Amino acid sequence: MSGGGLPSNLSSDVVLRDGSTVRIRPAQPEDLARVQDYLLGLSPETRRLRFWTAAVNVGELARKIVDVDDRDHLTLLVLRGGDDGRMIGGAQFSRIDGGRAEIGMSVADEWQGMGIGSILLGQVAQAAAARGVTILVAEVLPENHGMIGVFRESGFPLSIRALPGTIEIELPVSLTDEAVGQFERRETAASVTAMRTFLTPRSVAVVGASRDRTSIGGQLFHNLLTEEFHGPVYPVNPKADVVHGVPAYPAIEKVPGPVDVAFIVVPAAFVLQVARECGEKGVRGLVVISSGFAEVGGDGPARQRELVEVCRAYGMRIIGPNCMGIVNTDPQVRLNGTFASIFPPPGRVGFLSQSGALGLAVMQHAVELGLGLSSFVSVGNKADISGNDLVAYWGEDERTDVILLYLESFGNPRRFARLAREVGRRKPIVAVKSGRSAAGARAAASHTGALLAASDVTVDALFRQAGVIRTDTLEQMFDVAELLANQPAPKGDRVAIVTNAGGLGILCADTCDANGLTVPPLSETTKGKLREFLPPEASVENPVDMIASASDEDYGRAIRTVADDPDVDAMIVIYIPPQVEKAAAIVRAIAQAVRDVGGRIPVATTLMAGTGVRAELRADGAKIPSFSFPEQAAIAVARAAAYGHWRTKPERIVPRFVDVRRDAAYAVIAGALGRGAGWLTAEELEELLGCYGLPMARSARVATPEEAGAAAAGLGTTVALKALGPDIVHKTDVGAVRLALEGPDEVIAAAKEMARRIRKAGLTLEGFLVQEMVSGGVEMLVGVAQDPLFGPVVACSAGGTAAELLRDVSVRIAPITDLDASEMVRSLKTFPLLDGYRGAQKADVGALEEVILRVSTMVEAHPSIAEMDCNPVMVLPHGAVIVDARVRVQEAAPPKPLASRSTGE
């Protein structure tokens, strides 16, 4: 709880339209003087529009504003300068009756137009909804067009009516998709603005600039000068009058002109003081090169948190700490704010590295490849600016066509997924994510938890859903980047291979096949045209082997001919020179032919002729991707083709089920949490699944073996018998399930024997479940594990007792779309069992997909569901039935305020 007994989760930092930050928190009685100062500082017109008169009793009004509780009256203050900073805006709701409350907002004159009103509206609505308010009501003067505009542009569905002398606005507090989308668009715009501050500053300073060129501060300052940054560069060094021929200043406040961005290269112990001085100077962004923060442990994490607090208080943004800097190759900017010894050539690739040392190597490799960069950012510890901000910026940057990410961790993977999915429709995102070995470290009680533990399937799912191209190595990342920066993405998976060495063609074809590409036969028309000029010994199949005697003319004609084949989506051209003296001419012919193809299909080359002739591929401004080995080219094309396939799919839709009873489900979960965290009882489980239309087999719950026999008679069919108890999780392992029992006597005997085994094992027996036997279908598993970062992770796999043994699992992160569910089921190795394997009747795959979608809807709405198994889900020829299920609940963290900003998000 924060001061005044109000929940601390209502406090947040938010990013404004100009990329700066402010603090929003609940008002407290101690804020009385602060609120009075705010009201006195408002212009008479702003006071009139908000309070309907300019002549307000400031003392009385301020007391009402801070006289709050946590149910019927809540006020949020917007502060510049942290929790104790200056008030620049505020909003409140006061309950009228039942579910209706009045809302009012105001923003200081000089801060209007920065998006504060929209953020306040969203956060007040969110807080009001959590306190049982369903409708917010505002009465606005007709001439208050600005406030009416805030409501209209919020994304909330409004009801507006004119009354005598006023406009009445009503809006439901529930967030619609449109409202959420509006907040996400505002957040993206703020990220873009913040990154423009860093990458296109008007002036920069280096605090810690050194006369020693071998030091980090000396090299960074030297780089800014030698690359001819377009604005002034101010060295700050209290021990030097001049640094590299430029007059130095003892402190940032002594710099005569404004400073947009300051590079900080001082020991960690001095960074906080320098940050405060930068804030007083009005610096907008800090690039903290210094190490000694969260990466070192000890006092480092606390020092980093304090650095963030200092910067938040001044509205400054941070890149780093513990980073190597930033680069913008735009000829109109030429910003080399790193301590690297090289400056990459201008290009169309934006690159983010979470590792500083790796960033140095990356820029060197980019230069060697001739792969130009638009900009480069080393984010270091991601105390503030993160990969999400960079993806948003590069998505809008006209100089960036391909986005490369080296990631070691995620701050807000759900926002990353939304951003990447939107940006990826326009620009490919290629990522290497380290740490594949341990996504799940906790012990897992359910099948689903065990399937997801000790792997990074969640990261794979995130990238797959968002259309991100994941590569296994940095080399592969650059291979894909080189291809997509210079060629279009393939429209399909059909690849033609043109070579003068049959063995290399076969190796290439094998790699294509292993990576999901096809190497289909060429059309008869294409083969006929190839026979017109190739020797009889050549093969005009696919791969096209022109044999070692192939000339420059043969290569040119073959490339143009194969590119015209309507059944070819991409081409790989391989050349190994049997006669070195002819290599240059042949490579020139290859380059010209690729230019003639004109991007109708992507073409990758493999030149095993040394680096010298590769320069021919870049002649006349052409940049034709070339790889050392055919396997590299095939893998790069495969990754690009998968991306091209994702991009051409229709827009994915998260279904809405009208028969869902969400409030009833909340009641079930709340009742279970009243006992503490744990597994739902059989009755609670059946009620919860019923709220979301999840079909379960007919069953009866009983207390004794005799009641079990009577229940079996009532069901009138072959039954299964299962023991019930809070510590009975995997029933088969402890003999707690019997199948295909006939008649009451057989059921009673089985129940007595089961009870004896359960008690002997030291487990708690609470009764039995007698359930109709469901046969004639395919056993599948649908489950959920709650990930602390990614949220609900939904899994589908082969079901029954062999689920963990087979480990044939497909995973997606909720909310799941219609296409996600379809892909999950069809990507399983065991999918043929559902599709009529060996003449069996086909199962109702659509019914299984609906189960997945309904489970996703449920766990997205109820974050208290920590773990869930539906195993088995029996998929029948018509319909699907859940035969057994388990759900574990635990109290969920309160939702973050809308538009709030945490470290590294």
**Residue 275, pLDDT score:** 97
Given a cut of 70, whether residue 805 has pLDDT beyond it is no
pLDDT tens-place string over residues 817-869: 999 999 999 999 989 999 988 888 999 999 999 999 999 999 999 999 999 99
| End-to-end C-alpha distance for the chain, whole angstroms | 24
Q: Are 228 and 334 in contact (CB under 8 A)?
A: yes
Structure tokens at 681: 């009882």
DSSP for 549-611, written as a single string: T--HHHHHHHHHHHHT-TT-SEEEEEE--SSGGGHHHHHHHHHHHHHHHTTSS-EEEEE-S-S
pLDDT tens-place string over residues 433-450: 876 554 333 333 444 544
* Helix (H), strand (E), coil (C) string for 747-788: HHHHHHHHHHHHHHCCCCCCEEEEEECCCCCEEEEEEEEEEC
Best-predicted range by mean pLDDT (57-61, 558-562, 827-831): 558-562
Given a cut of 60, whether residue 77 has pLDDT beyond it is yes
Q: With CA atoms as reference, report the closest residue to 639 among 520, 467, 462, 465.
A: 467
Q: Give percent helix, percent strand, percent coil of the chain, each to the nearest 5.
A: 40, 25, 35
pLDDT tens-place string over residues 451-475: 454 457 888 899 999 999 999 888 8
**Residue 492, pLDDT score:** 95
DSSP for 44-86, written as a single string: HHHHHHHHS-S---HHHHHHHHH---SSSEEEEEEEESSTTSE
**Residue 338, pLDDT score:** 95
* High-pLDDT (> 90) share of the chain, %: 70
Beta bridge partners of 136: 101, 171
Q: Are 477 and 366 in contact (CB under 8 A)?
A: no
**Residue 104, pLDDT score:** 93
pLDDT tens-place string over residues 711-747: 999 988 899 999 988 888 777 778 899 999 999 999 9
pLDDT band per the 50, 70, 90 thresholds, residue 2? very low
Residues belonging to the chain:
905
**CA–CA distances in Å: residue 599 to residues 239, 264, 489, 525, 594:** 57, 45, 10, 22, 8
- Judged by average pLDDT, the poorest of 115-129, 372-386, 619-633, 692-706 is 619-633
* Residue type present at position 739: L
Across the chain, mean pLDDT equals 90
Given a cut of 60, whether residue 1 has pLDDT beyond it is no
Given a cut of 80, whether residue 756 has pLDDT beyond it is yes
pLDDT band per the 50, 70, 90 thresholds, residue 6? low
**Residue 435, pLDDT score:** 65
Q: Over the range 103-121, which residues count as b (16 or more CB within 10 Å of their CB) and which as e?
A: bbbbbbeebbebbbbbbbb
**Residue 268, pLDDT score:** 96
pLDDT tens-place string over residues 574-617: 999 888 888 889 999 999 999 999 889 999 999 886 656 667 77
CA angle 255, 260, 261 (to 5 degrees): 90
Taking the C-alpha atoms of residue 871 and residue 445, their distance in angstroms, rounded to an integer, is: 14
pLDDT band per the 50, 70, 90 thresholds, residue 55? confident
**Residue 613, pLDDT score:** 67
Helix or strand holding residue 524 (H, E): helix 524-531
Beta bridge partners of 378: 353
**Residue 438, pLDDT score:** 47
Taking the C-alpha atoms of residue 677 and residue 675, their distance in angstroms, rounded to an integer, is: 7
pLDDT tens-place string over residues 204-258: 999 999 999 999 999 999 999 999 999 999 999 999 999 999 999 999 999 999 9
**Residue 617, pLDDT score:** 76
pLDDT band per the 50, 70, 90 thresholds, residue 803? low
Structure tokens at 789: 């970062």
pLDDT band per the 50, 70, 90 thresholds, residue 787? confident
**Residue 612, pLDDT score:** 61
Q: With CA atoms as reference, report the closest residue to 247 among 231, 260, 232.
A: 232
Structure tokens at 429: 């995102």
Taking the C-alpha atoms of residue 522 and residue 566, their distance in angstroms, rounded to an integer, is: 9
Q: With CA atoms as reference, report the closest residue to 623 among 495, 490, 487.
A: 487
Q: What is the mean pLDDT of residues 262-271?
A: 97
pLDDT tens-place string over residues 328-387: 999 999 999 999 888 988 999 999 998 877 878 878 888 888 789 999 999 999 999 999
**Residue 441, pLDDT score:** 34
Taking the C-alpha atoms of residue 509 and residue 528, their distance in angstroms, rounded to an integer, is: 22
Which residues neighbour 486 within 8 Å (Cβ) at sequence distance 6 or greater? 623, 624, 625
Per the model's pLDDT, the better-predicted residue between 615 and 698 turns out to be: 698
pLDDT tens-place string over residues 295-326: 998 999 999 999 999 999 999 999 999 999 99
